Every structure is written in structure tokens, then in C-alpha cells.
Amino acid sequence: QSVLTQPPSISAAPGQKVTISCSGSSSNIESMYLSWYRQVPGSAPQLLIYENNKRFSGIPDRFSGSKSGTSATLGITGLQTGDEAIYYCGTWDYSLNAHVFGTGTKVTVL
């Protein structure tokens, strides 16, 4: 089981804002850089946010990342049908000596 916990699913109407949480511990989120990925079923994950809050090349500013203590958040504003996907957080855990991913959150646009 993953050491990073995310809500299983979130849904919202087009144009709304959603926030996805990622909860960890002092050995991972609190002390290491966090990244966020989007995965459409059948495709490879795509990097959205790196180093906690930096948008990767080509990612619109509707996507934002933040971190506080042992938790992090991905925000998506102006929700679009194309944002339907599963979102994962990820970071290094120095206690496990391993890269870890979150449990994944499925975003549904109503």
C-alpha cells in the first residue's frame, strides 16, 4: 500500500475548481520535492507539476501546486471535460529509500 494518501475520487461541474490532496509524512512530503501527474486511461502518466509548485512545459496556469508540512495540494481551475483523468502525486521517501506515488484520484467532470 502507498505511503501517500489521496481521495479516491472528486467530481465537479465544468468551469468549477477542484483541489486534490496528497497526505504523507516527515520522511517524504515534508522534506522532499513533490510532483503531480495526470493519467488518462490507456496512456502514460504526464508530468503536470514538479518541485512542489512549478508547472511543467506546456501545462496551463489552470493547474497549480502547493505544499505545507506533510501534505500537498493540486488545484485545477476552470475545469474542462478534458481534465477527466486519474491524478497522482509522487516524491522520494528517505526512510524507505524509494520513490513513492500516491493512491491516485479520479477526477470526473459532471
Binding to another protein by residue 65, rule CB under 8 A?
no
Among 7, 10, 30, 47, binds another protein (CB under 8 A): 47
The whole-angstrom separation of Cα 70 and Cα 49 is 17
Could you tell me how many residues of this chain bind another protein (CB under 8 A)? 28
Among 7, 19, 53, 101, binds another protein (CB under 8 A): 101
Binding to another protein by residue 35, rule CB under 8 A?
yes
Binding to another protein by residue 100, rule CB under 8 A?
yes
Neighbours of 70 (CB within 10 A): 16
The whole-angstrom separation of Cα 34 and Cα 10 is 21
Binding to another protein by residue 91, rule CB under 8 A?
yes
DSSP secondary structure letters along 56-101: PTT--TTEEEEEETTEEEEEE-S--GGG-EEEEEEEEETTTTEEEE
Residues that bind another protein (CB under 8 A): 2, 32-35, 37, 39, 43-47, 50-51, 56, 88, 90-92, 96-104
